[in-house]
Structure 1
């Protein structure tokens, strides 16, 4: 997708979201005001308004553009694999979470993120909207975004989605030909996990990187970019909410490493049934960790 097309689709999604949330009201601001609000050109504003008019979401009344109806959930554009600069920004946001600089309830200022990343404001806002759809962020208005606290029922839904996608990907992994280089990566990851297990008492924080590598390897077999984007966000949500529960962190990490080793060993032995069983057990432990973290936060004053 070309950058202008990506930008237009991003702004359309943002305006639809603004209308749905009541942040854009009738009559709509002028084209110049919308251009300033979304940090885009008037040409992009006109393309966006044309799209909304064609679908009957806005209409001209008494010389002013007004909201004719509320957008439905399926209008707009699906989040596609984003350009490289947006993916790099995602990594920067993930780093803030991993470095424990963002907590549930904290606010992020949109313009600060624009300045820190050097990206266009529309691209930054599109990324924030993408995370908001998965319950990590909430638009607080006026360029502020709040890190949300996950509700237990929503967490359960995320766990179910993660298990469904990863189990499917693992089944696809076992259809890879023997000469595929990813089988060698499985053996290398098992060796690295065994080394970490020995050195765990001094360096258990190294597990996060191995965890990302293992799950990314499994997902690669699905060869589906929508899986990748969805599970990347789900993984960040898991990490964001679990990292603040410091109780038994070392023990939980040991259990996770041992889960990984059991899964990797089954994969090395090409035992699909055992590997599926071990993955399901590992995801069950991750679900327990997330539930425990949310319960602990709920008990805090």
Structure 2
């Protein structure tokens, strides 16, 4: 039930984002259209609509749904209330793996990991199952898992898909940022955060992985494709938290990536499609080269 409640709250916030620039009195779409827009079931969308109607944000009678007032900040749920259960595992798990320098072949027991992270065993299992098809971990008997190696072939395949997805998503990001709205506001926030990091000391660059993940997730979300969005989260995990990442030249790599992000972001905010495309191509090429040169490969 915790996951359902968090998902519900996340979708309420997402619906409020979509209503932010809608004129009062506008008729909203059908339940099917809203479900597709929110990437949710119709049952969940009905729960969201009921909540917004009770808050006086919209009226809902039969098939007619009208926006009664603009959303206010107090209508939103706090970020920690909207985090899916897997999010309770992801960051502490990856930090543990990264800080512990766990080698290939390390055994992870579900119950022990759940105690370490303070979450239910089922939540840990859901998180680990997500990565099994990628070949990074392997299920073993007795609720244990084995951390496996990261091969060159895997990296080549991963980046081939990343190129396709992010180049496609850039078109959506340019369109979404052509006028004021939630996506442009988030990109402007990212722009400011990147500028602070670029002007700050080297020690601050330790925060780059989280900023990088936010940038690429926003980019992929602009494609309005759930598979692309999910892939972007996987990429973040592989690139920044992989247990065999070589930290040599990490500060130099991060500072260069900040500059490349800024080139993409500023071109998108300026509506310059050609420059944004060139900047993204350059960033993806750099990301590929640095990964291939920096990882200690398990296949020789």
The bucket for the TM-score relative to the shorter chain is 0.5 to 0.7
Alpha carbons of structure 1 residues 242 and 183: separation in structure 2 relative to 1, 3 Å:
farther
State the distance in 1 between where 2:3 and 2:299 align.
43
State the distance in 1 between where 2:197 and 2:118 align.
37
2:271 alignment partner in structure 1: 270
1:84 alignment partner in structure 2: 84
Deviation at residue 102 of structure 1 after TM alignment: 3.9
State the distance in 2 between where 1:282 and 1:264 align.
12
State the distance in 2 between where 1:3 and 1:206 align.
28
Length-normalised TM-score, structure 1: 0.64
Q: Deviation per CA, 1:207-255: give whole Å up to 9, x if none.
A: 1221122112212212333322222122201223386312211111121
Is the CA contact 1:132–1:139 (under 8 Å) kept in the aligned structure 2?
Answer: yes
Q: Deviation per CA, 1:137-169: give whole Å up to 9, x if none.
A: 112333221221111011100111122112222
Is the CA contact 1:200–1:254 (under 8 Å) kept in the aligned structure 2?
Answer: no
1:190 alignment partner in structure 2: 191
State the distance in 2 between where 1:206 and 1:193 align.
10
State the distance in 2 between where 1:286 and 1:104 align.
23
State the distance in 1 between where 2:93 and 2:295 align.
22
State the distance in 1 between where 2:221 and 2:257 align.
21
Alpha carbons of structure 1 residues 124 and 210: separation in structure 2 relative to 1, 3 Å:
closer
Deviation at residue 118 of structure 1 after TM alignment: 5.2
1:147-226 equivalences in 2 (<5 Å): 147-176=147-176, 177-226=178-227
Deviation at residue 184 of structure 1 after TM alignment: 2.8
State the distance in 2 between where 1:109 and 1:2 align.
23
2:12 alignment partner in structure 1: none
Kindly report the root-mean-square deviation, in angstroms, between the aligned alpha carbons of the 2 structures: 2.8
Is the CA contact 1:193–1:257 (under 8 Å) kept in the aligned structure 2?
Answer: yes
State the distance in 2 between where 1:209 and 1:3 align.
23
Is the CA contact 2:216–2:232 (under 8 Å) kept in the aligned structure 1?
Answer: no
Q: Which is greater in Rg?
A: 1
1:286 alignment partner in structure 2: 287
Deviation at residue 94 of structure 1 after TM alignment: 3.1
Is the CA contact 2:220–2:229 (under 8 Å) kept in the aligned structure 1?
Answer: yes
Alpha carbons of structure 1 residues 229 and 99: separation in structure 2 relative to 1, 3 Å:
farther
State the distance in 2 between where 1:231 and 1:135 align.
17
Question: Is the deviation greater in 150-159 or in 265-274?
Answer: 265-274
Is the CA contact 2:98–2:242 (under 8 Å) kept in the aligned structure 1?
Answer: no
Unaligned runs of 5+ in 1: 5-82
- Helix, strand or coil: the match of 1:223? coil
State the distance in 1 between where 2:102 and 2:211 align.
22
Deviation at residue 187 of structure 1 after TM alignment: 2.5
Matched residue count: 221
Alpha carbons of structure 1 residues 87 and 250: separation in structure 2 relative to 1, 3 Å:
closer
- Helix, strand or coil: the match of 2:108? strand
Deviation at residue 178 of structure 1 after TM alignment: 0.2
1:1-301 equivalences in 2 (<5 Å): 84-100=84-100, 102-117=102-117, 119-176=119-176, 177-241=178-242, 244-295=245-296
Is the CA contact 1:242–1:293 (under 8 Å) kept in the aligned structure 2?
Answer: no
Is the CA contact 1:86–1:127 (under 8 Å) kept in the aligned structure 2?
Answer: yes
State the distance in 2 between where 1:257 and 1:191 align.
12
State the distance in 1 between where 2:120 and 2:254 align.
38
State the distance in 1 between where 2:135 and 2:291 align.
15
Alpha carbons of structure 1 residues 251 and 243: separation in structure 2 relative to 1, 3 Å:
farther
